[in-house]
């Protein structure tokens, strides 16, 4: 079974400072990992994905995540926070069903607050 | 091209009632998955439909049921509502052999049970 643990439920940063959202994963095989963002009253948007290619993954809006197998981590970073980054962020691992189809297992989320 | 559309966006029910939520998948998608997102939690997988049948199911009781129509749209039904069923219900669609990141999510239906 696959699972993810988001280490911080809330993160607060100042605009223009770096963002770090932490995620550890557990998987019995090489996982596919994702970060999704959810703005208030909006649907989930895929930020970036890791699928066993390059360990440093670049996503939209300047977000990056690095897959570290030795640490079972997949932390999300952004060099400089913008006010528009304030949202809920989910670390996600995918699983595959026999016969096809896939299922996403979400972490509990990290609420990012960006202050002036 | 419309994405995944869900209706209604908000609704209020009382305990013991039944509710039906609807989802229209993105054009070209034939697989629909439903997720429940309780307040302060990440979404949890309820079930997945393909070819008008439930193919996979998460850890949810039989009070949660669904249906998929020939046009690939889907309904989620919840019977005998409990207070704990209050949540945002998300629909995600994909092509049948999609890779995991090819799921498209709707904006959800927010259910409040009083």
Neighbouring residues of B80: CB distance < 8 A, sequence distance ≥ 6: B16, B18, B63
CB nearest B50 (choices: A96, A101, A108): A101
Count how many pairs of residues, chain A against chain B, have C-beta atoms within 8 Å. Answer: 67
Query: To which residue do tokens 């809920």 refer?
Result: A88
Q: A26-79 pLDDT, tens per residue?
A: 987 778 899 999 998 788 999 999 987 788 999 998 999 999 999 999 999 999
Q: Is the pLDDT of residue A98 over 70?
A: no
Nearest to A37 by CA among B8, B42, B45, B89: B42
Q: What is the mean pLDDT of residues B68-74?
A: 97
Query: Chain A residue with minimal CA distance to B96?
Result: A101
Model pLDDT for residues B8-61, shown as the tens digit of each residue: 999 999 999 999 999 999 998 999 999 999 998 999 999 999 999 998 899 999
Token pair in block for residue B13: 């029910």
B50 reaches A (C-beta below 8 A): yes
Nearest-by-Cβ selection for B101 from A34, A103, A106 = A34
Question: What number of other Cβ atoms are within 10 A of residue A6's Cβ?
Answer: 20
C-alpha span between B72 and B70 (Å, rounded): 5
| Residues above pLDDT 90, as percent of chain A | 74
| β-pairing verdict for B19-24 and B5-7 | antiparallel
State the burial class of residue A1 (Cβ atoms within 10 Å of its Cβ: 0-12, 13-18, 19+).
Answer: exposed
Average pLDDT over residues B63-87: 97
Question: Which one of B50, B58, B90 has the shortest CB-CB distance to A44?
Answer: B90
Q: How far is A107 from chain B (nearest CA, A)?
A: 6
Which residues from chain A sit within 8 angstroms of residue B47, using beta carbons? none
């Amino acid at each position: 079974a696959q699972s993810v643990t988001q280490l911080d439920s809330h993160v607060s940063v100042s605009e223009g400072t770096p963002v770090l959202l932490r995620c550890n994963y557990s998987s019995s095989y090489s996982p596919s990992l994702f970060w999704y963002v959810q703005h208030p009253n909006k649907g989930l948007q895929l930020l970036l994905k890791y699928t066993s290619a390059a360990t440093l993954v670049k996503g939209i809006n300047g977000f990056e995540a690095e897959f570290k197998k030795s640490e079972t981590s997949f932390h999300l970073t952004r060099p400089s926070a913008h006010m528009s980054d304030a949202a809920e962020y989910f670390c996600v691992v995918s699983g595959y069903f026999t016969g096809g189809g896939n299922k996403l297992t979400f972490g509990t989320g990290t609420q990012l607050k960006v202050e002036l | 091209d419309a994405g995944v559309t869900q209706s209604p966006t908000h609704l209020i029910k009382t305990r013991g009632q039944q509710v039906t939520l609807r989802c229209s998948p993105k054009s070209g998608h034939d697989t629909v998955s439903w997720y429940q997102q309780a307040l302060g939690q990440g979404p949890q997988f309820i079930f997945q439909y393909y070819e008008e049948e439930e193919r996979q199911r998460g850890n949810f009781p039989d009070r949660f049921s669904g249906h998929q129509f020939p046009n690939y749209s889907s309904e989620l039904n919840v019977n005998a509502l409990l207070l704990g069923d209050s949540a945002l219900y998300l629909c995600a669609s994909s092509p049948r052999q999609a890779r995991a990141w090819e799921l498209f999510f709707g904006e959800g239906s927010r259910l409040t049970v009083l």
